[in-house]
Amino acid sequence: MERLRVETEEWEIEAGRERERREIMEEEVRGIERREREGRREWEKGKEELMAERERARNLQDVLGEFQAGRAHSGLSRGTKLIMAICSKR
C-alpha cells in the first residue's frame, strides 16, 4: 500500500511539472502570436505609407510635366499656339 501511495505522489509531482511546462509553452505561444499581430500591423502601416508616397510622387511628376509643357508652350509663337489649340480639340 505504501508503494502505491509513493507512486501516486510521484505521478502527481510529474503531472504538476507537465502542467507547468504546458503553461509556459502556452504563454510563449501567446507571446509569439502577439508579436506576429504587431508585426502584421506594422507591415500594413508601412505598406499604406509606401502607397501614399508613391501617389504623392506620381502627382508631383504630373505637376512637373504640366509645368514643363506650359513652359515649352510659352516659348512658341502665337500662331503655333493657335494651331496646337485647334489640333488638340480634334
Question: What is the grid cell recorded at 82?
Answer: 493657335
What pLDDT is recorded for position 65?
83
Whether residue 26 has pLDDT greater than 70: yes
Question: How is the chain split into domains, by residue range?
Answer: 2-89
- CA atoms lying within 13 Å on the CB side of residue 75: 5
Residue in the block written with cell 502570436? 33
Whether residue 43 has pLDDT greater than 70: yes
DSSP per-residue codes, 58-81:
HHHHHHHHHHHHHHHHHTS-HHHH
What is the pTM for the complete model shown?
A: 0.55
| Residue 61 contacts residue 53 (beta carbons within 8 Å) | no
Does residue 32 or residue 60 have the better pLDDT?
Answer: 32
What pLDDT is recorded for position 8?
94
The amino acid at residue 37 is R
| Residue 84 contacts residue 76 (beta carbons within 8 Å) | yes
